Amino acid sequence: MKDSSIKNRAKSLIKSEMQTVGNLVEYINDDFVSVVKLILQSRGRVVLTGIGKSANIAAKIVATMNSTGTPAVFMHAADAIHGDLGIVQPDDIIICISNSGNTPEIKVLAPLIKSRGNILIALVGNTESALAKQADYILRVTVEREACPLGLAPTNSTTAQLVMGDALAICLLEGRGFTSKDFAKYHPGGALGKKLYTKVGGLMLDDDPPCVLENQHLKEIIIEMSHKRMGAVAVVDDNNILKGMITDGDLRRMLEKSLDVEKITATQIMTPSPITTHIDQLAIEAYHLMENRNITQLIVVDNNNHYVGMIHLHDILKEGVV
């Protein structure tokens, strides 16, 4: 194939699938609304089943539902009619995915599900199929043709199934009042989860963090800053209430003024009321604060403005929050 032919074929497929997705808007009807309400009210799970490429789509929708607050399980249609139908519990709602709705396994499985008394939802392309006729509700995903030039490989049909499944999962998410905090419970690993649950208190230097009292002198300040290697120290009073902050930049600016360094105390050098973060603030929020203010460390305080630690930009980057 020529380069131009490859590009044209890819563009043609994308345009075809875009049109397919656009057509789905017309299929959001009363059955779709009823299915959302039924699942929200159900005490059981959503069992998704299919065969071939539709089974792959079913497995993906299961993963999306589970991660967004709707308990779901995958059951392969071929395995279901050979023993795995035991997965289905009395309160479960079954969504059977099939483009034609007439594959042999689906034609056997649908009446078996109905005989058990479970609600059967057909996510189907052919609304006159055996599956559609057995179903209590139909989620229509009809496509005019596949994007495959042979008209054989599932392309437009599986895209339509996937998008309809996403639409269902997101409506259920909103119906449950699912929040980012809930999302974090199901995604504790990786950068996504870390953004949602990692707090400043879990990353900060809290084991003897850099700190001096208001009346301590320059030599003591330099020793403390060098020893703790944070590039800054907090200035506190006798009750550990935060009074200010001294950075290595503050020290350099002070030395440029040719002051009597033997008499200088922390109060004379510090920046009063420095930018701080709370121990329970999300680490990603602290990162954005540092990024916006062009600083590399933040003092961490509690509800009473007690100094509890210090967090450095590198701590957040090392953890993989960003």
Q: Mean pLDDT, 10 residues at a time, over the chain (322 residues)?
A: 91 94 96 98 97 97 95 96 94 97 96 96 97 97 92 93 98 92 73 80 86 92 89 94 93 78 87 93 93 93 94 89 80
* Bridge partner list, 233: 246
Instruction: Tell me what pLDDT residue 168 has.
Output: 98
The tokens 């699942």 sit on which residue?
39
Q: What is the pLDDT of residue 259?
A: 66
Q: Which CATH superfamily is domain 200-319 in?
A: CBS-domain (3.10.580.10)
Q: Which tokens go with 132?
A: 């559609």
Check residue 198 and give its pLDDT: 87
76 is in an annotated binding site: yes
Say how many C-beta atoms besides its own lie within 10 A of residue 264's C-beta: 18
d(CA 86, CA 80): 8
How is domain 3-178 classified at the CATH fold level? Rossmann fold (3.40.50)
**CA distances for 68 relative to 72, 198, 206, angstroms:** 10, 20, 35
Q: What's the CA gap between 30 and 46, in Å, rounded?
A: 19
What residue spans of 68-155 are helical by DSSP H?
77-80, 104-115, 130-134
Alpha-carbon distance of 26 to 139, in angstroms, equals: 11
Phi-psi domain of 306 (left: phi exceeds 0; alpha: psi -120 through 50; beta: other): beta
Handedness of CA 285, 210, 320, 281 (dihedral sign): negative
Domain boundaries, the chain: 3-178, 200-319
Q: Which residue has the tokens 């050979």?
A: 82
Tell me, what DSSP letter sits at residue 271?
E
Burial letters 41-52, b for 16+ CB under 10 A, else e: eeebbbbbbbbb
pLDDT (0 to 100) of residue 190: 66
- Can you give the pTM of this predicted structure? 0.72
The per-residue pLDDT for 258 is 61
260 Cβ partners below 8 Å, 6+ apart?
A: none
Residue type, 133: K
Q: What's the CA gap between 246 and 283, in Å, rounded? A: 22
Check: CB of residue 235 under 8 Å from CB of residue 245.
Answer: yes
Spatial separation of the C-alpha atoms in residues 123 and 49, rounded to whole Å = 10
* Sign (positive or negative) of CA dihedral 32, 36, 41, 46: positive
State whether residue 166 is helix, strand or coil: helix
